[in-house]
Structure 1
Amino acid sequence: MPELPEVETIRKTLKRFVLNRTINDVNVYWGNIIKKPDDTEHFKQLLIGQTIHDIKRKGKFLLFELDDYTLISHLRMEGKYSVHYKDEPVKKHTHVIFSFTTDEELRYNDVRKFGTMHIVNKGEELIQKPLDQLGPDPFDKEFTLDYFYKRLKTTNRSIKAVLLDQTVVAGLGNIYVDETLFKARIHPLKKSNKLTKKEVQEIRKQAILTLEEAVEQGGTTIRSYVNSQGEMGMFQQELAVYGQENEACPNCGSPITKMKVGGRGTHICLNCQRF
């Protein structure tokens, strides 16, 4: 699943190709992706004539800022955007095509069909679904140590479960939670309300540093993930624990262990991350 760094890479890449493009047609081939409005023809009519002025991100969501509306897109498991000339063949699993007044198109491809799109009035995106329940982005000024520590003190869930909870912090997924907890030397099963303020500070610090490094390198290539122009992310070369089962820990040389935490595959060093 594309996580925050992958979505940020897609955002930056798309901005190079679609800013100031005006939509003159929309074709929807799989209507279930469109969540708001619930009628695909209405979705199409709202977008025709709108110009893309900016692309922002909130957690794992892309926000296309138009003249009057914001198009909110979540890629879910395997959603991808790519820009094509109109005469290029349309690939299988392309479900939405935004045609511009130029000779180009923005195409949304999704093998699993789990992605979602919402149109909301511009300026109201943070007070409506699906963004109204999201916690702060790790890069937001609202993601302070005080905020984070207070939220963790209210729950006895495992720290991994809380870090994956998008209402607490938006954008962290399985890959980067494993990497963050390894770097912070915290066992993923440790109860959130049992963490010291120093431990919480280290988790926050390592989450931000890990995401910054991943964004800089273009995200993580896991299975079929590529960015919007087919460029592979390079951060997989830097992963310390995720996907490294039975490999040597880069800190102590002990084998990396894979276990289940809340039903999610979790990679840890049992020596460095003691429970």
Structure 2
Amino acid sequence: MPELPEVETSRRGIDPHVCNRTINQVIIREPRLRWPVDPQISRILPGSKITSTDRRGKYLLIYTTQGCLIVHLGMSGSVRIVSASEPVRKHDHIDIVMDNHTALRYHDPRRFGAMLWTTEPVLEHDRLRHLGPEPLDDNFNIPYLYRCSRGKKVPVKTFIMDSRIVVGVGNIYANEALYMAGISPKREAGKISRQRYERLIAAIKDVIANAINVGGTTLRDFVGSDGKPGYFKQSLQVYGRAGQPCQKCQTPLTEIRIAQRSTVYCRNCQR
């Protein structure tokens, strides 16, 4: 599943190609995504201009002079800039055709993604207003995370993957951050000290920033806006390495399931 770094990679990839471009046409080949695509955008958007792009959590925001498209890539979605005349592939569901004869093309084999439309304040949208802070923002800090954790009995890995607490810490990045911080993914969130949360916040910020800088994690179904995969997988320290030696102490890494998600950690280094 494309996570926050993959979505930010996509946003940065499309931004210079779509900003200040006028939309000529919206082609909806398949409206049956996770939530139905509003057919009115085919009528509303032509003639409007794309003013900017942004991201909130795993949602890509495309602002226009008429309103905002909220794009979620789901399990297997991607957006690419293509020539408007490029042959359509299977699962190319939506084209936003621009005045320079290029198109922002949405591709999604599993159709778990979404393209929503709003003319209201976008951050008040039902899909966005309950989200926690961005992991790289200043308001994701030690007092905030420590306060949120008090009384929580869930494993800390589940806690930091809760988008109401902080957005964008997906399974891979949670594994990596907990390893960097030396914290067992099984430990109850409410029993972790303020000092250890300080290390965890630093690790989360580092792992997310590094993943964004190198283009996200290579996943089977994800491609960036240029059609090329990200490369963060090359530097993963624990995820996908179950049974292999810990890079710090050489103890074989252990794999367990937490909330039905693969969790890899070092029993020696993570307490």
| Fold agreement, TM-score > 0.5 | yes
In the alignment, structure 1 residue 222 sits paired with structure 2 residue 214: no
Deviating 4+ runs (over 4 angstroms):
none
The structural deviation recorded for 1:273 is 1.2
CA separation in 2, counterparts of 1:48 and 1:168? 38
Distance 1:79 1:101, change over 3 A: same
Equivalent positions of 1:51-200 (< 5 A) are 51-121=49-119, 124-200=121-197
Whether the 8 Å contact between 2:38 and 2:117 is mirrored in structure 1 is no
The change in CA–CA distance for 1:201 and 1:68 in structure 2 (over 3 A counts) is same
Q: Deviations over 1:32-60 (max 9, x none)?
A: 2274xx66321322322221111111111
Residues of 2 paired with 1:125 and 1:154: CA distance?
Answer: 32
| 1:87-110 deviation per Cα after TM superposition (whole angstroms, max 9, x unaligned) | 210111111111112211111000
- Seq. identity, %: 35
Shift in Å, 1:154? 4.0
Amino acid at match of 2:52: D
Which residue identity does 1:91 align to in structure 2?
Answer: R
State how many pairs are aligned: 271
C-alpha distance after superposition, 1:217-268 (max 9, x if no partner): 1111122322111122111110000111111111111111211001111111
1:205-220 aligned at under 5 Å gives the runs 205-220=202-217
Q: Which whole-Å deviations, capped at 9, do the CAs of 1:177-199 have from their partners, x for residues lacking one? A: 00000101111111111010011
Give the TM-score of the pair, scaled to structure 1.
Answer: 0.94
* Secondary structure in structure 2 of the residue aligned to 1:55: strand
TM-score (norm 2): 0.96
8 Å contact from structure 1 (residues 28, 40) kept in 2: no
CA gap of 1:34–1:180, structure 2 versus 1, over 3 A, is closer
Deviations 1:117-150 (A, max 9, x none): 221226x111121101100010122212111111
Please give the alpha-carbon distance, in whole angstroms, between the structure 2 residues aligned to 1:253 and 1:219. 27
Q: Is residue 2:67 matched to residue 1:48?
A: no
Distance of 1:154 and 1:195 partners within structure 2? 10
* Partner secondary structure for residue 25 of structure 1: strand
- Note the aligned Cα RMSD (angstroms): 1.4
- Report the AA paired with residue 194 of structure 2: K
1:45-96 Cα deviation digits (max 9, x unpaired): 2322221111111111111111131111111111101111122101111111
> Which residue of the partner structure matches residue 236 of structure 1?
233
Q: Kindly tell me: are residues 19 and 196 of structure 1, through their superposed partners in 2, closer, same or farther at Cα, counting changes over 3 Å?
A: same
| Conserved 8 A contact 2:23-2:47 | yes
Tell me if the contact between 1:156 and 1:192 (Cα under 8 Å) persists in the aligned partners: yes
Taking the TM superposition and a 5 Å limit, the aligned residue runs for 1:21-40 are 21-33=21-33, 35=35, 40=38
AA aligned to 2:106 is: Y
Distance 1:104 1:182 in 2: 43
Q: Describe the SS at the equivalent of 1:12.
A: helix
